[in-house]
Structure 1
Amino acid sequence: MEPDAPLRYDRLDYTPFPRSVTLARRRAHRLIGEWGHPELADDAALLVSELGGNAVLHGCLRDRLFRVELALGERCVRIAVSDPKGELRPRLREAGSDEMFGRGLLIVAGVADRWGVDELGVGKAVWCELGVASAVTA
């Protein structure tokens, strides 16, 4: 299924520091609420946090930014986080009970309706979608 044509769109590049993930998460929460879907704001913020955290930990290079894109379509909210390391493709894995990291994509897969990875000219974009409940018109 192709993504919806966006009704609303936002894109911002961030420096690869943990504080940037916090800023991206807060921005996503605010925008999704302002775009009329406060019921999706918490999940969207969680997804941005997980994907952004992965980009900072595994996908960024010195002096290279990561990008967060939010798009609201008629059927879904699409979140994409891109980073410059295309050779390092994310994958689902079971983290051991003593491991501090390794559960981010399991969280994304559990919360999002769909997710995937797109190769870019430089780097990759990890994306996910949250379905938007259709408004019933009288």
Structure 2
Amino acid sequence: MDRQDIRNYPPRQDSVPKARRHSAWLAVAWGRPELAADAALLTSELTTNALLHGSVWDRYFRVEVKLTGAVLRIEVTDPKGERHPEPRAAVTDYDQFGRGLHIVKALAETWGCTDRVIGKTVWAELAHGR
């Protein structure tokens, strides 16, 4: 059975843990508890990037979680389409930035970015059999 959930979040720091917890909860509720931890981490990384690089103070960002066949897909849509995500290296061991997309690449079967009329959607997919 295919499932889908869409939530909008304000561009605030407290939206990241809310979205993370909700994605993990959905994975469990939809019968895929083995994906909950990875779904939470992917959601956290993608929503943090949306907040840091794609947010506009008065525009919400959207988190969409889909279960289709053997794939759990997490999509985060933000209003800034001019900045596409690119993995970069952390400068030092203490650098707070530069690791998020490397985590996404390591966890996801595949990930990418889709342009929209306004903004962009960054997505990542987990397969059930991982």
TM-score, with length taken from structure 1: 0.90
Separation (CA, whole Å) in 2 of partners of 1:124 and 1:113: 20
| RMSD between superposed Cα atoms in Å | 1.3
Distance 1:107 1:121 in 2: 28
TM-superposed deviation, 1:22? 0.6
Deviation at 1:92, TM superposition (A): 1.1
The secondary structure found in structure 2 opposite 1:43 is helix
Aligned residues: 129
User: Is structure 2 residue 97 aligned with structure 1 residue 116?
Assistant: no
* Secondary structure, counterpart of 2:123 in structure 1: strand
Equivalent residue for 2:99?
103
| 1:10 pairs with one of 2, 5, 26 | 5
Inter-partner Cα distance in structure 2 for 1:123 and 1:67: 11
1:76 is aligned to 2:71: yes
Partners of 1:73 and 1:36 lie apart in 2 by 12
Q: CA deviation at 1:102?
A: 1.5
Larger radius of gyration: 1
Residue 117 of structure 2 aligns to a residue in which SS? coil
Partner of 2:122: 126
For the pair 1:92 / 2:87, whether they are aligned, the reply is yes
Secondary structure of 1:92's counterpart equals: coil
Off by >3 Å, runs of 4+ in structure 1: none
2:44 partner letter: S
- 1:33 partnered with 2:25: no
Deviation of 1:132 after TM superposition, in Å, equals 1.5
Question: Structure 1: 5+ residue runs without aligned partners?
Answer: 1-5, 134-138
